Amino acid sequence: MRATHELTLPVPTPGTNVAFDVDRVRKDFPLLRQQVHGKPLVYLDNAATSQKPQVVIDTLTRYYAEENSNVHRGVHFLSERATEAHEAARANVRRFLNAADTREVIFVRGATEGINLVAQSYGRTHIKPGDEIIISWMEHHSNIVPWQMLCEDKGAVLRVIPINDDGEVLLDEYERLLTPRTKFVALVHVSNALGTINPVKQMIEMAHRQRVPVLLDGAQAVAHLPVDVQELDCDFYVFSGHKVLGPTGIGILYGKADFLERMPPYQGGGDMILSVTFEKTRYNTLPYKFEAGTPHIAGVVGLGAAIDYLQGIGLDRIAAYEQGLLAYGTDVLSAIPGLRLIGTARGKAGVLSFVLEGIHAHDIGTVLDQQGVAIRAGHHCAMPVMQRFGVPATARASLAFYNTRGELDALGRAIRKAIELFS
Ligand code: C6P
């Protein structure tokens, strides 16, 4: 049977009439009020990191001012309070992802550490010489290099699903790559360089038919789409707190309990043990087995507040609003002569990657910055994507629900100014 692209996107079509008061939302983000080079800031670098609402900033301040203590250790009042706040945030994350159990929610430093944890812990125990691991051509380096390192170590082979000129995975090629040698699949949910929303549910089903576990890199998904790990049936899911309005240095690895139970610890140290003697150490239960050392408690608490805030608005409404913005931004950019959009998949999240004839992406970024418009220029830690499209780099505007159509007009004006300056 030939696999086809059955894109069942969890987002309403552009133009859906959703009541979304962006001016009100923007008031929650103090950083957005500033001027840059004498111009109002237009922050369009949300794929790199999101801005933080006041409630997250206040939560961090209150944590350090009133609750700071170490967790899972002390019997005193403050330690119990910090532990409660820490574990309440874990429960928040469980609800956010609709994980079955809080034991399946592991705090890590970010998406990168989550993937490395799985590659080292699951990979080192289960991957053998000659086994194959499948990734796609549009992975971030975080979902390439850890698997390359594992393959090198184990004598395993990395297989890559090719993509078409729109930046969509070729499902029939994927089907061909899935063989009895395949032992793991690791896929990006939403591409940071192209914006493509991959048909991950279908791709997971295809892998599971061969009894192959799947990890999803959700770094660019969770702030833009509702994610339900049970509905997707992924075996692992990772994301970073700083891209979902939370602090840096904190992230999530979700894993199905039966996988996590069978995996050895990633790091050794305090908190991940039940008992230690020089002869033998007994490891702690989930999720603590994977959380050695003092965690980033403030980060965890801040992430909990960020998730509360996001859910207060609702991921469905955010997704619908951003789809409207993306359609508008696509029209603005498509009207600019000499501009080529890189990433034109049928299902996309709010990423507008582009190149301009005769102008290097870094020069575009510099001119835009002078106009107060913050974008990212470069390879976006996805060098194979650049090679696939035959460009050294792209300029990338990436959207969040606090962006406006007016800001996309400002982006368009700033790009036209760059063209003028370099012509
Ligand atoms: N992408 C971007 O500007 P960390 O660094 O661990 O928080 O996230 C890594 C990561 C993993 N997967 C995807 C799809 C990502 O987009 C990122 C981070 C940023 O696109 C910084 S390179």
Residue 245 · residue 31 · CB < 8 Å: no
Report whether pLDDT(103) > 60: yes
Look at residue 73 in the predicted model and tell me its pLDDT.
Answer: 80
Give the domain extent around 341. Answer: 22-43+314-422
| Pair (183, 248) in one structural domain | yes
Residue 136 · residue 198 · CB < 8 Å: yes
Say how far apart CA 181 and CA 176 lie, in whole Å: 12
Q: Is 381 a catalytic residue?
A: yes
Domain boundary among 312, 342, 365: 312
Look at residue 19 in the predicted model and tell me its pLDDT.
Answer: 79
Half-sphere exposure of 287 (CA within 13 A, CB side): 21
| Pair (189, 221) in one structural domain | yes
Kindly state the percentage of the chain with pLDDT values over 70: 96
Choosing from 240, 303, 351, 398 the residue with most ligand 1 atoms within 8 A of its CB, the one to mutate for a pocket test is: 240
Look at residue 18 in the predicted model and tell me its pLDDT.
Answer: 56
Report whether pLDDT(283) > 70: yes
Report whether pLDDT(21) > 50: yes
Residue 301 · residue 63 · CB < 8 Å: yes
Domain boundary among 286, 312, 338: 312
**How many Å lie between the centroid of ligand 1 and the Cα of residue 347?**
20
Is residue 231 domain-resident? Answer: yes
Spatial CB neighbours of 29, under 8 Å, sequence gap ≥ 6: 51, 52, 53, 54, 402
Q: Which of 374, 381, 383, 391 is flagged as catalytic?
A: 381
Ligand 1 near 393 CB (within 6 A): no
**How many Å lie between the centroid of ligand 1 and the Cα of residue 48?**
7
Say how far apart CA 290 and CA 100 lie, in whole Å: 18
Exposed e or buried b for every residue in 268-285, given b needs 16+ CB within 10 A?
A: eeebbbeeeeeeeeebbe
Look at residue 234 in the predicted model and tell me its pLDDT.
Answer: 99
Average pLDDT over residues 97-111: 98
| Pair (150, 62) in one structural domain | yes
CATH number for the domain spanning 119: value is: 3.40.640.10
| Pair (39, 139) in one structural domain | no
Report pLDDT digits (tens) over 75-88: 899 999 999 999 99
| Pair (322, 188) in one structural domain | no
Say how far apart CA 199 and CA 8 lie, in whole Å: 7
Say how far apart CA 13 and CA 327 lie, in whole Å: 10
**How many Å lie between the centroid of ligand 1 and the Cα of residue 2?**
32
| Pair (302, 327) in one structural domain | no
Is residue 11 domain-resident? Answer: no
User: What phi, psi does 6 have (nearest 5°)?
Assistant: -105, 85
**How many Å lie between the centroid of ligand 1 and the Cα of residue 166?**
21
Report pLDDT digits (tens) over 23-48: 999 999 999 999 999 999 999 999 99
Q: How many residues does the chain have?
A: 423
Nearest CA to ligand 1 atom 3: 48
Is residue 413 domain-resident? Answer: yes
Report whether pLDDT(16) > 90: no
CATH number for the domain spanning 323: value is: 3.90.1150.10
Half-sphere exposure of 214 (CA within 13 A, CB side): 26
Is residue 216 domain-resident? Answer: yes
| Pair (237, 322) in one structural domain | no
Ligand 1 near 112 CB (within 6 A): yes
| Pair (240, 277) in one structural domain | yes
Is residue 14 domain-resident? Answer: no
Average pLDDT over residues 267-282: 97
| Pair (71, 149) in one structural domain | yes
| Pair (37, 121) in one structural domain | no
Nearest CA to ligand 1 atom 5: 112
Say how far apart CA 406 and CA 393 lie, in whole Å: 26
Average pLDDT for the chain: 95
Domain boundary among 285, 312, 339: 312
Residue 96 · residue 307 · CB < 8 Å: yes
Report pLDDT digits (tens) over 146-182: 999 999 999 999 999 999 999 999 999 999 999 999 9
Nearest atom (ligand 1) to Cα of 242:
7
When computed from its CA atoms, the radius of gyration of the chain, rounded to whole angstroms, is 22
Domain count, the chain: 2
| Pair (417, 297) in one structural domain | no
Look at residue 292 in the predicted model and tell me its pLDDT.
Answer: 98
Average pLDDT over residues 229-258: 98
Is residue 129 domain-resident? Answer: yes
Is residue 2 domain-resident? Answer: no
Nearest atom (ligand 1) to Cα of 248:
7
Q: CA 21 from chain center: how many Å?
A: 25
Look at residue 74 in the predicted model and tell me its pLDDT.
Answer: 79
Closest CA to 168 of 143, 199, 141, 205: 199
Ligand 1 near 116 CB (within 6 A): no
Under the banding of pLDDT at 50, 70 and 90, the label for residue 5 is very low
DSSP 142: G
Kindly state the percentage of the chain with pLDDT values over 90: 94
Say how far apart CA 102 and CA 363 lie, in whole Å: 47
Is residue 10 domain-resident? Answer: no
| Pair (166, 273) in one structural domain | yes
Spatial CB neighbours of 257, under 8 Å, sequence gap ≥ 6: 100, 101, 103, 104, 286
Under the banding of pLDDT at 50, 70 and 90, the label for residue 248 is very high
Report pLDDT digits (tens) over 321-379: 999 999 999 999 999 999 999 999 999 999 999 999 999 999 999 999 999 999 999 99
Going by DSSP bridges, is the β-strand pair 214-217/39-40 parallel, antiparallel, or unpaired? unpaired
Ligand 1 near 111 CB (within 6 A): yes
Choosing from 192, 252, 296 the residue with most ligand 1 atoms within 8 A of its CB, the one to mutate for a pocket test is: 192
Closest CA to 300 of 67, 47, 136: 67
**How many Å lie between the centroid of ligand 1 and the Cα of residue 90?**
22
Look at residue 6 in the predicted model and tell me its pLDDT.
Answer: 44
Half-sphere exposure of 20 (CA within 13 A, CB side): 25
